[in-house]
Amino acid sequence: MAGHETHYALPRPQFDRPVKLLIVVAPYYRDIADQLLAGARAEIEAAGGAHETVEVPGALEVPTAIGQAFRMSNFDGFVALGCVIRGETTHYDTVCNDSSRALQLLGLQGACIGNGILTVENRAQAEVRADASGQNKGGGAAAAALHLIALARRWGGAKRSVGFLPEKDEFQIAGDTGPEKGPVA
């Protein structure tokens, strides 16, 4: 049983500049989500980081929110939290596979994401994994994001800018002074 195994954990990374993470949580199972959130927050704070938290309706919306923040904001990393418990239909498989795949694709695009979306057979498994004083999968997801941020900084940081830069004015071509001043619609 996984609860009795010991696993190696990397030492907590240290940062010369503060880190800021966005925690995106799907509180469908509120008590489970609260435990995951407590573990993630504690891990980020222990590393000297700051965090913001947003809630989304379910696990499928977590990657979308992270993708939006990755493109439009200035977070160093992201923590995905939620819980999917197997039900009577194949919806479980869709939610588990699609949320995980979407997070992985964002990671391959450069987002530093720790995936703490639990995918379990029953509530008891979720409770054991979410418990901040036990398996602490929320803290583990935050630790994963922190390690990825440390690697990104080690290898030169982000290669993209936050927001956008205006492109050259299309009317500034070879001495053209631009369009005539006229009424604005």
- Tell me whether residue 174 is in a domain: no
HEC secondary structure over the chain: CHHHCCCCCCCCCCCCCCCEEEEEECCCCHHHHHHHHHHHHHHHHHCCCEEEEEECCCCCHHHHHHHHHHHHCCCCEEEEEEEEECCCCCHHHHHHHHHHHHHHHHHHCCCCEEEEEEEECCHHHHHHHHCCCCCCHHHHHHHHHHHHHHHHHHCCCCCCCCCCCCCCCCCCCCCCCCCCCCCCC
CA distances for 81 relative to 57, 65, 110, 118, angstroms = 12, 12, 19, 8
Q: What is the pTM of this model?
A: 0.82
- Tell me whether residue 180 is in a domain: no
CATH number, domain of 65, equals 3.40.50.960
pLDDT, residue 181, reads 44
- Pick from 3-7, 80-84, 150-154: least confident: 3-7
- Tell me whether residue 12 is in a domain: no
Closest CA to 134 of 38, 10, 3, 42: 3
- Tell me whether residue 86 is in a domain: yes
What's the pLDDT tens digit per position in 41-84? 999 999 999 999 999 999 999 999 999 999 999 999 999 999 99
Residue 184 has pLDDT above 90, yes or no: no
- Pick from 83-87, 151-155, 164-168: least confident: 164-168
- Tell me whether residue 147 is in a domain: yes
pLDDT, residue 6, reads 80
- Tell me whether residue 13 is in a domain: no
Q: What are phi and psi of 16, to 5 degrees?
A: -85, -20
What's the pLDDT tens digit per position in 119-151? 999 999 999 999 999 999 999 999 999 999 999
In sequence order, the 6+-apart residues with CB closer than 8 A to the CB of 75 are: 20, 21, 22, 52, 69
pLDDT above 70: percentage of residues in the chain: 82
Number of domains in the chain: 1
pLDDT, residue 3, reads 54
Residue of 4, 7, 51, 91 with catalytic role: 91
Reading the block at residue 16, the tokens are 């010369």
What's the pLDDT tens digit per position in 61-72? 999 999 999 999
- Tell me whether residue 137 is in a domain: yes
pLDDT, residue 164, reads 52
> What's the mean pLDDT when you consider all of the chain?
88
Range of the domain at 63: 18-154
- Tell me whether residue 142 is in a domain: yes
Among this protein's residues, is 91 annotated catalytic?
yes
